[in-house]
């Protein structure tokens, strides 16, 4: 498999590449259970983290993944950086690049920001979320979670509920899962179900409905999204109404296939888009998703900036202290 130069989205990945990445993540899943979580695989390498938007799990997950592989991190604090003084995105990332990191994981509020940076830097760029466009590592960790629980990604009925319009997670998941023949139902208030999605996947039909009971019928996987108020001029409908119409409750979940999986990329607003009983219930994969994020990001960093001479991830579970 040819080395990935950048990871900007899942749209351009093939099913074969995705399967390869998920397989490569397997030993790193095992590794998270090890009492000593430190490898020397990427010792001497540096991962730049440039998060121009708030982030908890994605940023910490990249930092922890780099550290567990033995790499150092360079951390841009967007709130306190020169961006606040008017420096451009390009000047900021060129400044980071001049300190010679081996790759950059970046998040930005503009769709296309990661591709723009990738076209100007020589080091690999990993998109950790660009505006409303893509969030490929989230889709990969979701796919790993689903594949583990279901055994395969092939032909699943996937229902996505909520604020789909503003969701890069929805786009990346659609692109990825479509490659495995999944069927999609998008559910939410009409203004959050963009028509654009109908043509997004070429010939693959994407069903849209404002009726959650209909959307959940026969679902194997349900992806619940956060209401992204920070990306809206005004909410599509009052939040109490949203709760009544779209909250995933235990009762509604019964309409889905038995044992249907419930995923949420986080941050999760309990009591708004999801009932706590579902969030903490046996069908919820929320915390598994977080743990799998480490495995996916470790595998990616290993594959993208490893020199190829290390003993490797799988075998590279030889410890730094060894
Ligand atoms: C998502 C994001 O930032 O796109 N969060 C995440 O990375 N896990 C989803 C969200 O913010 O709602």
CATH classification at residue 155 = 3.40.50.1370
On whether the CB atoms of residues 70 and 40 are closer than 8 A, the answer is: yes
Could you tell me the two tokens for 11? 């749209």
Alpha carbon nearest to ligand 1 atom 11, residue: 267
Asked whether residue 5 is domain-assigned, the answer is no
- Is the C-beta atom of 189 inside 6 A of ligand 1? no
Q: Are residues 157 and 128 in the same domain?
A: no
Q: Are residues 164 and 271 in the same domain?
A: yes
Asked whether residue 51 is domain-assigned, the answer is yes
- Is the C-beta atom of 135 inside 6 A of ligand 1? yes
The count of other CB atoms within 10 Å of the CB of residue 45 is 20
Alpha carbon nearest to ligand 1 atom 8, residue: 265
Q: Which residues pair with 87 in a beta bridge?
A: none
List, in order, residues 6 or more apart from 58 with CB less than 8 Å away: 51, 107, 128, 129, 135, 137, 138, 293
Q: Are residues 157 and 141 in the same domain?
A: yes
On whether the CB atoms of residues 322 and 298 are closer than 8 A, the answer is: no
Asked whether residue 246 is domain-assigned, the answer is yes
Give the residue numbers marked as catalytic: 57-58, 85, 107, 135
Q: Which atom of ligand 1 is found nearest the CA of 107? A: 3
The count of other CB atoms within 10 Å of the CB of residue 41 is 25
Higher pLDDT, 237 or 211: 211
List, in order, residues 6 or more apart from 158 with CB less than 8 Å away: 173, 177, 182, 183, 184, 185, 219, 220, 221, 222, 223
- Is the C-beta atom of 316 inside 6 A of ligand 1? no
Task: Please tell me the predicted confidence (pLDDT) of residue 272.
Answer: 95
Q: Are residues 186 and 270 in the same domain?
A: yes
Asked whether residue 10 is domain-assigned, the answer is no
Q: Are residues 56 and 179 in the same domain?
A: no
Structural domain for 279, as ranges: 136-288
Q: Are residues 202 and 84 in the same domain?
A: no
Q: Are residues 148 and 284 in the same domain?
A: yes
Q: Are residues 113 and 66 in the same domain?
A: yes
Q: Are residues 112 and 148 in the same domain?
A: no
Q: Report the distance separating Cα 320 and Cα 42, nearest Å.
A: 10
What total of structural domains would you count in the chain? 2
Angle, helices 15-31/136-150, rounded to nearest 10 degrees: 80
Alpha carbon nearest to ligand 1 atom 7, residue: 58
Q: Which atom of ligand 1 is found nearest the CA of 53? A: 3
Please choose, from the candidates 225, 204, 235, the residue with its C-alpha nearest in 3D space to the C-alpha of residue 159. 225
- Is the C-beta atom of 57 inside 6 A of ligand 1? yes
Asked whether residue 313 is domain-assigned, the answer is no
Q: Are residues 143 and 284 in the same domain?
A: yes
On whether the CB atoms of residues 291 and 32 are closer than 8 A, the answer is: yes
Q: Report CA(219)–ligand 1 centroid distance (Å).
A: 23
Q: Which atom of ligand 1 is found nearest the CA of 226? A: 12
- Is the C-beta atom of 264 inside 6 A of ligand 1? no
Asked whether residue 318 is domain-assigned, the answer is no
Please choose, from the candidates 301, 291, 322, 289, the residue with its C-alpha nearest in 3D space to the C-alpha of residue 36. 322
pTM of the model: 0.94
Asked whether residue 76 is domain-assigned, the answer is yes
Q: Which atom of ligand 1 is found nearest the CA of 128? A: 7
**pLDDT 10s digits, 232-245:** 777 778 899 999 99
Q: Report CA(55)–ligand 1 centroid distance (Å).
A: 8
Q: Report the distance separating Cα 215 and Cα 187, nearest Å.
A: 6
Q: Report CA(68)–ligand 1 centroid distance (Å).
A: 23
Asked whether residue 3 is domain-assigned, the answer is no
**pLDDT 10s digits, 32-88:** 999 999 999 999 999 999 999 989 899 999 999 999 999 999 999 777 676 777 889
Q: Are residues 117 and 57 in the same domain?
A: yes
Task: Please tell me the predicted confidence (pLDDT) of residue 321.
Answer: 35
Please choose, from the candidates 320, 322, 321, the residue with its C-alpha nearest in 3D space to the C-alpha of residue 43. 320
- Is the C-beta atom of 228 inside 6 A of ligand 1? yes
- 3-class SS at 284? strand
Q: Are residues 124 and 160 in the same domain?
A: no
- Is the C-beta atom of 168 inside 6 A of ligand 1? yes
**pLDDT 10s digits, 252-273:** 999 999 999 999 999 999 999 9
């Amino acid at each position: 498999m040819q080395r990935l130069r950048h990871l900007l989205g899942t749209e351009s990945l093939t099913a074969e590449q995705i399967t390869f990445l998920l397989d490569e993540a397997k030993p790193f899943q095992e590794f998270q259970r090890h009492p000593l979580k430190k490898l020397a695989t990427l010792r001497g390498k540096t991962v730049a983290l440039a998060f121009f938007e708030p982030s908890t799990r994605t940023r910490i997950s990249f930092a922890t993944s780099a550290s567990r592989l033995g790499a150092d991190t360079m951390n841009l604090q967007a709130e306190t950086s020169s961006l606040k003084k008017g420096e451009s995105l390009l000047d900021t990332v060129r400044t980071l690049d001049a300190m010679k990191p081996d790759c950059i994981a970046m998040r930005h509020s503009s769709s296309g920001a990661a591709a723009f940076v990738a076209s100007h830097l020589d080091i690999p760029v990993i998109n950790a979320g660009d505006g409303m466009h893509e969030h490929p590592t989230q889709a990969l960790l979701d796919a790993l979670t689903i594949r583990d629980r279901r055994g395969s990604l092939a032909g699943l009925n996937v229902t996505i509920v909520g604020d789909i319009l503003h969701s890069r997670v929805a786009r990346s998941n659609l692109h990825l899962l479509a490659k495995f023949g999944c069927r999609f139902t998008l559910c939410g208030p009409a203004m959050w179900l963009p028509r654009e999605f109908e043509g997004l996947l070429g010939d693959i039909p994407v069903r849209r409905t404002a009726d959650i009971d209909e959307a959940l019928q026969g679902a194997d996987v349900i992806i619940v999204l956060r209401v992204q108020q920070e990306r809206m001029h005004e909410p599509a409908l009052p939040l109490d109404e949203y709760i009544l119409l779209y909250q995933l409750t235990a009762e509604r979940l019964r309409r889905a296939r038995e044992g249907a999986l419930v995923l949420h990329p986080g941050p999760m607003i309990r009591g708004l888009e999801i009932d706590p009983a579902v969030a903490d219930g046996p069908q919820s994969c929320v915390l598994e998703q977080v743990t799998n994020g480490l495995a996916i990001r470790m595998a990616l960093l290993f594959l993208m900036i490893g020199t190829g001479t290390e003993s490797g991830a799988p075998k590279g579970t030889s410890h730094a202290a060894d």
